[in-house]
C-alpha cells in the first residue's frame, strides 16, 4: 500500500479540504495564516508554495489533523465530521491496535523516495529548506514543529519516534529541546552518560500518521508498531548508513547526525502548546552530518500555540479515548464517558461521567485518571459528573459543578496528599522559574450528587422524551 504524505494530500484535495497559498513570507506570515485558519470550524489543510526566498516546489503543509474528518483520515478510520462518532470509533479500535502490535514491526527496505537527493559535507545548509519564524516572540526560526525525531535505546534496541522542536542555529546545527523523561531524552542520556554522542535522525516531512505517533506518549519502542497496526501493514524504513537508525523510506526530508554531550546553545523562547511562550533556555544541539530529501520536498509544520492549535484536535480525541480505555481496563465500574475539552490544553481538564455504585466511587475514578501514563505529568483538574450529565457539554458540566458540589466537601487537593507534588512539565506557566523539582498538583472535583442521599436529591428540571419526539415531529424547524 503506497500511502505517503503526497497520497494524503491528494485525498485531502479530492475531498475539497486542501487550500494552496502562494507567496507567503517565512517570517510570521506562514505561522499567522496557520493560526487564523485554525480558528475556523472546518479549517482546511494549508499547503504553502513559492515561499518568499525559496524556489517553487519547496513547500510547507500545516493543519493536517485539525478537524475530526482530518484526524480520521490520518488514522485510516471512516470519515466523519463528528467528534463523538470518531471518539467512539477510537475507543473501539484502541484495544485492537494494542493487541496486534507484535504483528507490525517495521519492514527494512533497500531504497525509497527519500534517497532521491543526498547532501553531505559543506553542501549542508538547513536554510535550503523553508524555515519559518512561527510566532512573533520566538527566539529564532524553527525548521521542525511537525517532525519525527528518531532515536534508539543503546541497551534495549527500542526505537522511539518523538516530536520535539528544533531551532535552526546555523547551516549545520539545530537545537534539540526535550522535556525530561521523554523517551528521546532517556536514550540521549544513556549515550551521554557513556561520554558518547547520541545518534539522531529527524524526519521533517511524512504522512501525518507518523506525526501523530511522535506527538503521543506510547509505551517505549512502539510508535512504528502502532503506526503499522493502524495502517494494517508495517511501516517501510531504510537503515540509514551513518547512524544505523531506521528512517521512513517515503519521508520528504531527513536530517541525520549527532547530539554531542555537554554542548548547549541558547534556544527559544517559543510559542508552545499551553498557549504561552516556553522560556529561553540552554538546549542540546544536533550536528547535522547528512540530509536526504525528495525532489520538491514538503515540510510538515505543526506549530503549537494558544488552543486550538495544529495538533489539539487529535490530542483531544486520542487522549480521551486512551483515558476511557485505561479506566475500563482498571476495573472501575460505571464509567459512562470521558471528555477532554479541546480549548483547555490536552489533559488539563478531564471530565468523567459515571453511574455511582458506592461511596467514594467518583473520587476513586478521578484519582486514577489523574495518574495514568498520559496524565501523570500533564494535568490540573479532573471533574466527575453523574451519568445524566453529558461530559462533552461544558454548560451541563458547569451546572453540575455549581449545583451538586461545594468547595468545602467536593474539591480535593489539600486533603489528598496523593494529588499534591505530582510531576510537572517545564512549559507549565504556573511553575516558578528556576526550580529544580518540577512538580504541580491536581484538583479533583466531585460534581456528582452525594452518594449517601442521591435518591433524595432535588429533582432536576428535564423534558419528557415522548413529548420531545412529538414536538420535533410536528415542528422540525425548532
**SS3 string of 312-363?**
HHHHHHHHHHHHHHHHHHHCCCCEEEEEECHHHCCCCEEEEEECCCCCCHHH
| The C-alpha cell that represents 364 in the structure block | 476513586
Q: Are 36 and 63 in contact (CB under 8 A)?
A: no
| The C-alpha cell that represents 349 in the structure block | 481538564
Q: Are 69 and 17 in contact (CB under 8 A)?
A: yes
Q: From 3.40.50.300, 2.60.40.10, 1.20.58.100, 2.30.110.10, which CATH number describes the 5-300 domain?
A: 2.30.110.10
Angle in degrees, 0-180, between the axes of helices 312-330 and 361-369, rounded to the nearest 10:
130
What values do phi and psi take at 354, rounded to 5? Answer: -135, 155
How do the pLDDT tens digits run along the chain, 478 residues long?
468 999 999 999 999 999 999 999 999 999 999 999 998 888 999 999 999 999 999 999 999 999 999 999 999 999 999 888 999 999 999 899 999 999 999 999 999 999 999 999 999 999 999 999 999 999 999 999 999 999 999 999 999 999 999 999 999 999 999 887 789 999 999 999 999 999 999 999 999 999 999 988 888 899 999 999 999 999 999 999 999 999 999 999 999 999 999 999 999 899 887 778 888 889 999 999 999 999 999 999 999 888 888 888 888 888 899 899 999 999 999 999 999 887 776 678 899 999 999 999 999 999 898 887 666 566 678 999 999 999 989 999 999 999 998 887 777 653 344 444 444 455 555 555 555 555 567 788 999 999 888 889 988 888 899 999 999 999 988 7
In this structure, the dihedral spanned by the alpha carbons of residues 252, 241, 165 and 168, taken in order and rounded to 10 degrees, is -90
Tell me if the bond preceding 308 is cis, omega within 30° of 0.
yes
Query: Which own/partner contact pairs does 237-242 have at CB distance under 8 Å and 24+ positions apart?
Result: 237/106, 237/107, 237/108, 237/109, 238/108, 238/109, 238/110, 238/111, 238/112, 238/114, 238/115, 239/108, 240/201, 240/292, 242/199, 242/289, 242/290
- Beta carbons within 8 Å of 67's beta carbon, 6+ residues apart: 42, 43, 81, 313
The span from the CA of 379 to the CA of 15, in Å, is 36
What values do phi and psi take at 261, rounded to 5? Answer: -75, 145
Same fold across 5-300 and 331-470: no
The span from the CA of 385 to the CA of 394, in Å, is 11
Q: Are 237 and 246 in contact (CB under 8 A)?
A: yes
Nearest of 178, 193, 191, 203 to residue 259 by alpha carbon: 191
Q: What residues form DSSP beta bridges with 161?
A: 150
Q: What residues form DSSP beta bridges with 349?
A: 381
The span from the CA of 344 to the CA of 347, in Å, is 8
Chain center to CA of 452: 40
- Beta carbons within 8 Å of 377's beta carbon, 6+ residues apart: 181, 422, 423, 424, 425
- Beta carbons within 8 Å of 462's beta carbon, 6+ residues apart: none
Chain center to CA of 42: 19
User: Which run of H or E residues covers position 74?
Assistant: helix 68-74
3-state DSSP assignment of residue 382: strand
Q: From 3.40.50.720, 3.40.50.2000, 3.40.1670.10, 3.30.70.420, which CATH number describes the 331-470 domain?
A: 3.40.1670.10
β-pair type (443-446, 381-386): parallel
The span from the CA of 379 to the CA of 428, in Å, is 10
Give the burial string for 31-54 (b: 16+ CB within 10 Å, else e). bebbbebbeeeebbbbbbbebeeb
At 1 the pLDDT is: 43
CB atoms within 10 A of CB 158: 17
What values do phi and psi take at 126, rounded to 5? Answer: -60, -30
At 130 the pLDDT is: 97
- Residue ranges per structural domain of the chain: 5-300, 331-470
In this structure, the dihedral spanned by the alpha carbons of residues 115, 117, 118 and 120, taken in order and rounded to 10 degrees, is -160
At 308 the pLDDT is: 83
At 415 the pLDDT is: 37
The span from the CA of 286 to the CA of 256, in Å, is 9
Q: How many CA atoms lie within 13 A of 410 on its CB side?
A: 21
β-pair type (349-354, 198-203): unpaired
Question: Which 8-state DSSP code applies to residue 275?
Answer: S
Q: Are 153 and 191 in contact (CB under 8 A)?
A: no
Amino acid at each position: 500500500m503506497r500511502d505517503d504524505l503526497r497520497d494524503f494530500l491528494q485525498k485531502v484535495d479530492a475531498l475539497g479540504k486542501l487550500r494552496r497559498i502562494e507567496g507567503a513570507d517565512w517570517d510570521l506570515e506562514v505561522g499567522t495564516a496557520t493560526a487564523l485558519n485554525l480558528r475556523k470550524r472546518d479549517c482546511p489543510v494549508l499547503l504553502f508554495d513559492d515561499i518568499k526566498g525559496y524556489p517553487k516546489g519547496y513547500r510547507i503543509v500545516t493543519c493536517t489533523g485539525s478537524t475530526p474528518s482530518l484526524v480520521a483520515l490520518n488514522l485510516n478510520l471512516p470519515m466523519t465530521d463528528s467528534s463523538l462518532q470518531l471518539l467512539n470509533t477510537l475507543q473501539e479500535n484502541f484495544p485492537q491496535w494494542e493487541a496486534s502490535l507484535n504483528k507490525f514491526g517495521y519492514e527494512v527496505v533497500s531504497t525509497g523516495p527519500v534517497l532521491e537527493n543526498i547532501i553531505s559535507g559543506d553542501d549542508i545548509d538547513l536554510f535550503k529548506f523553508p524555515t519559518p519564524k512561527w510566532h512573533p516572540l520566538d527566539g529564532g526560526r524553527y525548521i521542525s514543529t511537525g517532525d519525527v525525531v528518531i532515536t534508539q535505546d543503546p541497551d534495549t534496541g527500542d526505537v522511539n519516534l518523538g516530536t520535539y522542536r528544533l531551532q535552526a542555529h546555523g547551516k549545520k546545527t539545530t537545537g534539540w529541546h526535550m522535556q525530561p523523561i521523554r523517551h528521546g531524552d532517556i536514550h540521549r542520556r544513556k549515550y551521554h552518560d557513556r561520554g558518547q554522542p547520541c545518534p539522531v535522525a529527524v524526519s521533517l516531512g511524512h504522512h501525518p500518521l507518523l506525526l501523530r505517533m511522535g506527538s503521543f506518549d506510547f509505551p517505549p519502542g512502539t510508535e512504528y508498531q502502532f503506526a503499522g497496526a493502524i495502517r494494517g501493514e508495517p511501516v517501510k524504513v531504510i537503515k540509514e548508513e551513518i547512524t544505523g537508525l531506521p528512517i521512513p523510506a517515503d519521508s520528504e526530508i531527513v536530517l541525520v547526525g549527532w547530539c554531542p554531550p555537554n554542548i548547549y546553545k541558547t534556544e527559544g523562547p517559543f510559542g508552545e502548546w499551553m498557549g504561552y511562550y516556553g522560556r529561553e533556555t540552554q538546549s542540546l544541539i544536533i550536528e547535522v552530518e547528512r540530509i536526504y530529501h525528495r525532489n520538491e520536498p514538503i515540510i510538515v509544520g505543526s506549530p503549537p500555540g494558544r488552543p486550538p492549535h495544529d495538533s489539539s484536535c487529535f490530542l483531544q480525541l486520542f487522549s480521551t479515548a486512551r483515558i476511557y480505555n485505561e479506566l475500563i481496563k482498571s476495573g472501575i465500574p460505571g464509567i459512562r464517558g470521558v471528555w477532554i475539552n479541546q480549548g483547555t490544553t490536552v489533559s488539563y481538564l478531564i471530565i468523567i461521567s459515571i453511574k455511582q455504585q458506592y461511596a467514594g466511587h467518583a473520587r476513586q475514578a478521578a484519582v486514577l485518571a489523574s495518574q495514568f501514563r498520559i496524565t501523570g505529568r500533564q494535568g490540573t483538574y479532573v471533574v466527575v459528573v453523574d451519568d445524566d450529565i453529558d461530559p462533552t457539554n461544558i454548560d451541563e458540566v458547569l451546572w453540575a459543578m455549581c449545583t451538586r458540589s461545594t468547595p468545602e466537601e467536593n474539591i480535593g487537593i489539600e486533603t489528598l496528599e496523593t494529588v499534591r507534588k505530582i510531576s510537572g512539565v517545564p512549559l507549565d506557566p504556573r511553575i516558578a522559574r528556576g526550580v529544580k523539582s518540577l512538580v504541580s498538583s491536581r484538583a479533583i472535583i466531585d460534581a456528582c450528587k452525594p452518594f449517601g442521599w442521591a435518591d433524595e436529591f432535588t429533582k432536576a428540571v428535564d423534558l419528557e422524551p415522548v413529548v420531545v419526539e412529538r414536538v420535533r415531529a410536528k415542528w422540525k424547524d425548532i
